[in-house]
């Protein structure tokens, strides 16, 4: 088992870093980039870098091994190996201390799967698998973090305030696990929706539309349609984690700009993600529509295209048709439908005040469900209208809220679970 030659005693691993790297430089042909690790993350000169991708690539890089030691002659002709003017240079450093500076030349004529290479401060020339270096030959754009906002799971709970300027201007502030609107203390903020918005901002990926922009007007960013500022608690004042401007929607792309970093770059994102960002204070209202128990129901009336049928519930919890209504009742399915409908939560608020019933298909569908309740000995009437399907596959619905018909998106799984109980056959 003893090594038989001097080569067998040599360390085959190309790099030994011990985790001490904060600068990476790569040049391949006319492409090149520099990565710098600062404040716990990797950065490029004009963009945030993808920390996960770089960490994975570094792990692969330290596992690279020499395929064959070619020569140790310090007088070797570097031109013969393509190393006089290297095709690629890859260096790793910690501050001013260069840990490794790799020069990569051409492939041997009889083996295109490997390339000749050497470390700048050493005379040894060796062969290494060409594929092992291919990721470092990529352009800088391959290392960009394309997330609109780069927030870790630990940073999201640190956000203390969200400032929004859209259809109106308002702020949301964290209070424990909940959120409130200081300008309207009685306004019921949907804390779950706030968390969804923060996750959306963290998860959505963008494309770089243009990395250096001097005129933002063509992108609708000179006067943004929407602005989000995320702040974490700090002293003496809150510190900004991210500030994003959103511009116009052109050719299926919404333009965005980060003001807190690389503010001369314009990104673009999918419009369906942008549409999920609330642009008005009322859109942050608690999405819980209502909450009632099945044993509180007195009757359910379904109106559809001029026809009605009414189902009543007696003291024993039995369902039956009211006089003048007829059909077949699947009592188990109907009871389950009312149970599920009793805890109704909107997917998204669409409008605080319906002014055009044609726009959302309410007039065309002519479909209303009225639920009569008796709670604490007092009667209560709830009504729900159904319109067309939205672009997201949900059903537009309307309820009476604050003296107006507020429109929201009805959760599509629930609609298909209860639709047979809430429609009149043949309509």
Q: Which sequence spans correspond to the domains of the chain? A: 13-143, 156-284, 288-421
Segments in 89-213 forming alpha helices (H): 191-203
Distance CA 255, CA 252 (A): 10
Distance CA 26, CA 142 (A): 13
Mean pLDDT per block of 10 residues along the chain (427 residues) reads 84 83 93 90 84 92 94 95 96 93 96 96 95 92 86 80 96 94 94 94 89 92 96 72 91 90 86 93 96 96 95 92 89 93 95 88 95 94 95 93 92 90 85
Note the pLDDT of residue 347: 94
Of 272, 281, 48, nearest to 184 (Cα)? 281
Distance CA 423, CA 408 (A): 19
395-401, strands of its sheet edge to edge: 319-321, 307-313, 297-304, 367-375, 378-389, 395-401, 404-410, 348-351
305: left (phi over 0), alpha (psi -120 to 50) or beta: left
The whole-angstrom distance between residue 374's C-alpha and the CA centroid of its chain comes to 43
CB atoms within 10 A of CB 404: 14
Note the pLDDT of residue 17: 76
Q: What's the CATH architecture for 288-421?
A: Sandwich (2.60)
Q: What is the dihedral of CA 314, 315, 317, 320, to 10 degrees?
A: -10
Note the pLDDT of residue 151: 75
SS3 167: coil
For tokens 């901002």, the residue is 201
Of 216, 197, 299, nearest to 257 (Cα)? 216
CB atoms within 10 A of CB 415: 16
Distance CA 110, CA 87 (A): 18
Examine residue 398 and say whether the peptide bond preceding it is cis (omega within 30 degrees of 0). Answer: no
Note the pLDDT of residue 19: 66
3-state helix, strand, coil in the chain (%, to 5): 20, 40, 40
The token pair at 341 is 């409908």
CB atoms within 10 A of CB 130: 17
DSSP conformation letters of 322-337: PTT--S---HHHHHHH
Note the pLDDT of residue 239: 84
Note the pLDDT of residue 237: 57
- Whether residue 164 contacts residue 107, with contact meaning beta carbons closer than 8 Å, is answered with no
């Amino acid at each position: 088992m003893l090594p038989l030659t001097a080569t067998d005693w040599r360390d085959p691993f190309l790099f030994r870093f011990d985790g001490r790297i904060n600068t990476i430089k790569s040049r391949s042909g006319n492409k090149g980039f520099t990565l710098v690790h600062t404040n716990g993350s990797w950065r490029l000169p004009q963009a945030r870098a993808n920390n996960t991708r770089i960490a994975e690539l570094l792990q692969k890089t330290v596992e690279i091994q020499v395929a064959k030691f070619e020569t140790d002659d310090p007088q070797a002709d570097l031109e013969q190996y393509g190393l006089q003017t290297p095709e690629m240079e890859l260096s790793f450093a910690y501050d001013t201390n260069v840990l490794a500076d790799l020069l990569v030349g051409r492939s041997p004529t009889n083996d295109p799967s490997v390339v000749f290479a050497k470390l700048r401060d050493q005379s040894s020339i060796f062969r290494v698998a060409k594929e092992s270096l291919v990721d470092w030959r990529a352009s800088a754009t391959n290392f960009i973090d394309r997330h609109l906002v780069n927030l870790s799971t630990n940073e999201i709970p640190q956000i203390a305030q969200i400032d929004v300027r859209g259809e109106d201007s308002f702020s949301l502030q964290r209070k424990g696990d909940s959120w409130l609107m200081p300008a309207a203390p009685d306004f019921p903020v949907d804390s779950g929706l706030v968390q969804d918005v923060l996750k959306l901002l963290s998860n959505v990926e963008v494309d770089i539309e243009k990395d250096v922009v001097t005129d933002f007007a063509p992108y609708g960013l000179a006067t943004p349609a929407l602005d989000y500022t995320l702040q974490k608690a700090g002293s003496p004042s809150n510190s900004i984690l991210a500030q994003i401007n959103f511009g116009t929607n052109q050719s299926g792309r919404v333009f965005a700009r980060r003001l807190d970093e690389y503010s001369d770059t314009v990104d673009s994102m999918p419009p369906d993600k942008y549409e999920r960002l609330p642009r008005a204070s009322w859109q942050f209202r608690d999405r819980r529509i209502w909450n009632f128990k099945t044993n509180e129901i007195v009757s359910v009336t379904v109106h559809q295209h001029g026809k009605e049928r009414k189902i009543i519930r007696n003291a024993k919890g039995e369902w039956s048709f009211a006089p003048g209504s007829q059909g077949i009742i699947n009592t188990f399915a109907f009871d389950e439908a009312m149970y599920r409908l009793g805890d109704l939560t909107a997917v998204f608020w669409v409008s605080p005040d319906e002014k055009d019933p044609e726009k959302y298909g309410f007039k065309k569908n002519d479909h209303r469900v009225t639920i009569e309740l008796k709670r604490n000995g007092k009667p209560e009437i709830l009504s729900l209208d159904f319109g067309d399907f939205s672009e997201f596959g949900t059903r537009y619905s309307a309820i009476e809220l604050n003296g107006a018909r507020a429109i929201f998106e009805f959760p599509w799984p629930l609609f298909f679970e209860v639709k047979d109980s809430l429609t009149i056959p043949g309509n």
